[in-house]
Amino acid sequence: MKKLILLLCFFFTCMNSFSQKLEYETKSNIQYYNAATNKSDSYINERCVLDIYYPKNAKGFATIVWFHGGGLTGGNKEIPEALKDKGFAIIGVNYRLSPKVKAAKAIDDAAAAVAWVFNTISNYGGDTSQIFVSGHSAGGYLGLMIGLDKKYLQKEGIDANKIAGLIPFSGQCITHFEIRKERGIPDTQPTIDEFAPLFYVRADAPSLLLITGDRELEMLGRYEENAYMARMMKLVGHKQTKLYELDGYGHGMTEPGFPLLVNEVNRILKEKQSKK
């Protein structure tokens, strides 16, 4: 038994040492639309770019696509510090913003960015079967829309079910309030239409982890939207839906959420490995 313990300690020490020796590189402002599209639209050319942070000289790593928040009217791409040095590639995405364009254009951009990842990450050493989609608030909404409504990624030639996991932070599950605002619908009037992730609950969707702040501290009814999403996903037969409520944290709950994101990615990767 002592020999086994010593061997295990040696193994984990080696693994930790390997992880620490990974070197990372960042490449910034990569355009994710094709050259013709960029040339045809100056705002796409300016705004539709992403940054990639990835382990150099590594193969088969997982990738987390991170969409920033900002109500579909503001915000900028970021590589969250809490996700660095974990063995993953992290991709921070910019997308077009309202009112310069209709808010729904951001969904098209999110799909184009994720398609870029599927088509390109292997060039950096990443594994296309290990692509996760996450983001905060408006970013969480975008991830849910392209992960549940398959038409957005289908237009890009990608099956949304190839996403390894959807992990939105405080994402809106009803129709986004900026889209409702464009239509003259108040923030306090819930709407579920073709721009609501809830409209697309389905049993065969990717693994789904919903994370929100405290229901009494969150924005509007954000926890309740996510709770309804979790319930309806389970009722339609989805087997991989979980909901976490972070007691004591409001809408800006990213810092306590990041370890949950990392744990969920590792859980799914371990599950995939065990099935091989």
The one-letter code for the residue type at 256 is P
Q: What pLDDT is stored for residue 9 in this prediction?
A: 45
Q: What DSSP line would sit under 143-178, residue for residue?
A: HHHHHHSTHHHHTTT--GGG-SEEEEES---SS-HH
Residue 21 has pLDDT above 50, yes or no: yes
Tokens of 40: 């045809």
**Could you read off the pLDDT of 71-89 as tens digits, one per residue?**
999 999 999 999 999 999 9
- Say how many C-beta atoms besides its own lie within 10 A of residue 245's C-beta: 16
Strand order in the sheet with 49-55: 24-31, 49-55, 89-93, 61-67, 126-136, 165-169, 207-213, 241-246
| Residue 272 confidence class, pLDDT cut points 50, 70, 90 | confident
Question: Are 97 and 124 within 8 A, CB to CB?
Answer: no
Q: Where are the domains of the chain?
A: 24-275
Q: What pLDDT is stored for residue 20 in this prediction?
A: 54
Question: Are 172 and 143 within 8 A, CB to CB?
Answer: no
Residue 8 has pLDDT above 70, yes or no: no
**Could you read off the pLDDT of 221-268 as tens digits, one per residue?**
999 999 999 999 999 999 999 999 999 999 999 999 999 999 999 999
Question: Are 236 and 202 within 8 A, CB to CB?
Answer: yes
Of the candidate CATH numbers 3.40.50.450, 1.10.3720.10, 2.40.50.140, 3.40.50.1820, the domain formed by 24-275 belongs to 3.40.50.1820
**Could you read off the pLDDT of 153-187 as tens digits, one per residue?**
999 999 999 999 999 999 999 999 999 999 999 99
Q: What pLDDT is stored for residue 275 in this prediction?
A: 83
d(CA 264, CA 208): 10
Q: C-alpha 136: how far from its chain's center?
A: 8
